[in-house]
Each structure stands twice: as structure tokens, then as C-alpha cells.
Amino acid sequence: MASSSVFKVYIVDDDPLFGRRLSTRLGEESYDVESFTSAAEAANASLDAPPDAVIAGYKLGAQSGMALLKQLRSADPHLAGLIVTSIDDDETTAEARRQVGPLHQTFKPFDLSDLLPKLKAALHVRQLACKLDDASNALRVRDRDLRASRMQVERTSAELETTHTELATATERLMQAEQLAAVGRVVSGIAHEVERQLTLVGYAEAIKTRVTDDPEIAEFADIIVNAQKRLSAMVDEIRDFASTASTGDRADLHREPADLAAIVADALAIMHYDTDVRKRRLDSDYRARPLVSLHREKFAQVVMNLVSNAVLATESGDTISVEVDVDDAGEESLATVVVRDTGVGMSRAVLSQLGEPFFTTRGGRGSGLGVGICMRIVEEHGGALTFESSEGKGTTARVTLPVLHVAPAGGDA
């Protein structure tokens, strides 16, 4: 668009004399004027030097002034336009006014007192419309920038929130690691001293062999021997925990392919020597014989710990069942070991704390480390240990492990 002081005006009329005279007078009014005798000439010229206003005759031979305005406004919607009709052609004048309104129609021969105010008004409206477009465009750009800024702020806020959460988690883990390391150093020393003293309790075995003729002393000796075994197992748990807590490292387990059912059967065979276990009914069901990659002793420790927990949750005569099977429901087959009892069970609050160091439901009879160590051992085998329980209805411990191969079930091992 031309500057506010100089507007470019096209005069398009098939009367050359009218065009020259009007061009001269508008030039005197400081307008930049070009005159054309056909609509085609004006349309071609607008490609290089588009006008701000067009004064066009209603009749231009092959193309009317109205058609020219419509054509030029397809490129410039705010183009100012005046339609010229002969002063003695009332019919054409009425038609032009019907189409563009009286403020956009003027006469030939021209009267500047009529034409100039209409031209100035049309150009002023054009200026306002262009300013409105500029303001609208600026608002759209600002709105787009604001949306982009808001999205950036939201992304940054989300990243900060994630970073804050990760930092809080890392800080909490670091504090826990430092606390566990300190506890680990202390309990390691305690475990060593307790184990040294437990060797003395081992003399109960010798006493038992020498008092076979006194059943009461032999029974007392049995009690001492069983207590020594439980304390030894607890010391092993403490030493295992202390080793991990003090270094923060978990040694890689030496694993080898093994028959899971056979490992479980061996662990249960050892458990049968426990006096409390013999007072329960221990049922085993080997529905499959999956081959898994195991550290035999460590995994046997898991089975014995889970059975011991079931023993402590049940009464004499209760049944504890141990099942080995394969779960083919997911994308990959999983070997499963399930230890199920019908004992006292656990609340949701207790379940949520299983595995936390030193948390125990056994009171003074447990270290609070067994379940956590079992979970760690199972995880190091690439598996998972989960629990389901209801108060008064018993507990089900479920171990899942990746399968290497499945052999046909062979009954109880």
C-alpha cells in the first residue's frame, strides 16, 4: 500500500479525454495517477504496480468496471473503488448504486466536490482495514508465540518435575545406602561374634549322643540343637545382608542349568529334619519339571526360607503345600514355585513392608532380613517373588523364573 501522503490511483475509462482530465486534476491533489482505456491494460499494470484505488467506468467495452474491481480485489481485498456512470444515464446509475452503494459511485463528467470526498473516504477505509489486518496478524503471531512459550514452559515444568522426582529418589536411595552400609558394618561384627559363640552350642550334639538313656535330657539337647540351627541360619542372613549393605555391590551368582523340581525337592528334604516342620503336613506337587538357570544353594535357601515362614504362620497339624509348575499365559514361559499355607495371614500394611530390612512379623524370632534376601536372590536370577495374603486365610508366596526348557512332569520328586 502507498504511504499515507501519496496514493496510487488507476483511472480506467474508454473515454481518453475523461481519463486525461481527471488524471491532471488528481495529480494536482498529490495522487500518483495512471490512466487506462481498457480493463485488460489496468489488470496487467497492477501486476507490477498495484493501485490503492481504482476509478472505473461502469461500461468498459468487453469488461465492466465492476468485473475489473472484482478481479483486482482478489489480490487486494481492501482496494478502494469508485464506479463512474454518465450523469444523464439514470438507469445505469441506479444499477451501479445498487451494486456498490452511493458512496462508491460518481459521475462523468466529474465533479471534484463529489468525487474527492468519496475517494478520500474510500482510501481512509482502506487504510483502517489494512491496519486492522496488520493488528490481527500481529495478534495471531503473538498468540502463536504465546502458545509456543506456554508449551515450552509446560515442557520445562514437566522436565523439572521429573528431575526433582529423580533427584529426590536418588537422594533417598543414597541416604538408605549410607544407612545400610553403616548398619552392615555393625551387624557384620555382631554376626561374627554370635557365630563364634554358637560353635559352643554345637556341643549339644555331643551331649545328646551320651545321654541316650535319658529321654528328657535328649529332648532338651534337641531343642538346643534346633535353636542353634535357627540362629546359624539367622547369622547367615545377617552376614549376607551385611556384605551387600557395606559394599553396595551384589556379586554375580554362578548359575547353571538345573531341574527346578529337583532343587525344590532337595530343599524340602532338608526341611524335614526340622522339628517344627515335622509337626506340619508338607505336601509337594511337581506338575512340571522346568529347566532353569540357577545357583543351587542360593535358590534352595529361598525355598527353605519361604517354607520356614509358612511354618511360623501355621499351627501343628496344618498343611503347607509346595507346587512347581510352568506358566505359559504370557509372551514367554515362566517356571513357578508356589508355597501356600492356611495360617494367620497378613494385612495389606504388613504386605507392603515385606522385604524392608529388619521388618519382621516374627517378633524376636526373626532378623527381618530373610524375605528381602530372598527377593534379591530371585531378582538376581531374573525372576520375581510376590506375596498374596489375607488375615486369617493364609499366605501364598509365588516365585517366577525364566524357563530354559520344560521336561514332562514326573510326579512328586
Q: For residue range 359-371, list pLDDT tens digits in order.
A: 555 544 454 557 7
CA dist 354 and 372 (Å) reads: 7
Q: Are 146 and 138 in contact (CB under 8 A)?
A: no
Share of the chain above pLDDT 90, in %: 50
pLDDT at 252: 59
What are the cell numbers at 75? 489480490
Domain boundaries, the chain: 8-110, 173-247, 256-407
pLDDT at 327: 87
State the DSSP string of 376-407.
HHHHHTT-EEEEEEETTTEEEEEEEEE-SEEE
State the DSSP string of 64-120.
-HHHHHHHHHTT-TT-EEEEEEETT-HHHHHHHHHHH-GGGEEEES--HHHHHHHHH
Looking at residue 302, the DSSP 8-state letter turns out to be: H
Identify the CATH class of 8-110. alpha beta
Span 214-251, pLDDT tens digits: 777 767 766 676 666 656 666 666 666 556 555 555 55
Query: Greater confidence, 21 or 206?
Result: 21
* Strand duo 53-57 + 80-86: pairing: parallel
Q: Are 364 and 351 in contact (CB under 8 A)?
A: no
CATH superfamily assigned to domain 256-407: Histidine kinase-like ATPase, C-terminal domain (3.30.565.10)
